[in-house]
Amino acid sequence: MTDAESIETFSVIRERRSVRNYTDRDVPDAALRAIIAAGTQAPTALGLQPWRFVIVKDRALMQRVSDYCKPILIERIGEEAGAGMEEFLAALKNPGFNIFYNAPVLVLVLGAQNAISSFLDCALCAENMMLAAWALGIGSCWIGSAALVQENPDLLTALKVPDDHQIVAPLIFGYPGPLSPKAARREPRIDWVT
Ligand SMILES: Cc1cc2nc3c(=O)[nH]c(=O)nc-3n(C[C@H](O)[C@H](O)[C@H](O)COP(=O)(O)O)c2cc1C
């Protein structure tokens, strides 16, 4: 790796942010394949690569998923309100709010149920995907709320999630509208043991 490439790597890591405001521009299939290919470069326990992917461009289906998840989220967050969730709860109560922020594409990273480290492996894959997307000028956001569809067999069938896999990372992708500032990071607490 050259110095210029490593500077680029750090800049992508530093500048990536969750995008919740998308243009209607379609994300080309080739870009989605490149993003998934970057995901599969992630390390995995025992080298199992326990993932598969579903690319959803069906906006009506995404709307159905959003409509299914919203009332459940309102109920569950309502019970825990106070943990910085007020703003999200208020958005969920807006009938026009879509949990996928009207993004043009949703990619589900599915983890094999029988793999020893499926969740961690797929999370590493997902982060690679979001960084690769950013490097291509494509925004993303992990929509954990959408994992609630795991409780709905009809939606799982529509989303082509096989019985022996679980949804680990529901990721939206699209070309960003005006960007929000990057969320600030706290200074990491670091203890050195020498
Ligand atoms: C496991 C996980 C679940 C998330 N779920 C949601 C979600 O349902 N909706 C959403 O808008 N953002 C979601 N996010 C995005 C986080 O809110 C976001 O990463 C965090 O606020 C930091 O901001 P940044 O990504 O811009 O650095 C999720 C992120 C992770 C890692």
**What are the structural domains, with CATH classification, of the chain?**
21-174 (3.40.109.10)
For ligand 1, atom 10, name the residue with the nearest CA.
Answer: 143
Q: Does the Cβ of 17 fall within 6 Å of ligand 1?
A: yes
Q: What is the pLDDT of residues 169-189, one digit of tens each?
A: 999 999 999 999 999 999 999
128 lines ligand 1 (CB under 6 A): no
pLDDT at 81: 66
The 165-174 sheet, strands edge to edge: 51-56, 105-112, 165-174, 139-142
Confidence of residue 83 (pLDDT cuts 50, 70, 90): low
Q: Is 144 in the pocket of ligand 1 (CB under 6 A)?
A: yes
Q: Please work out whether the CB of residue 97 comes within 6 Å of at least one atom of ligand 1.
A: no
Q: What residue type is 65 in one-letter code?
A: V
Q: What is the value of pTM for the model shown?
A: 0.96
CB 77 within 8 A of CB 92: yes
Q: How far is the CA of 178 from the centre of ligand 1 (A)?
A: 18
- pLDDT of 68 > 90? The answer is yes
Residue-wise pLDDT for 30-58, tens only, equals 999 999 999 999 999 999 999 999 999 99
CA 10 to each of CA 18, 51, 111, 132: distance values in angstroms, whole numbers, following the listed order: 17, 26, 28, 12
Distance between Cα 140 and ligand 1 center (Å): 10
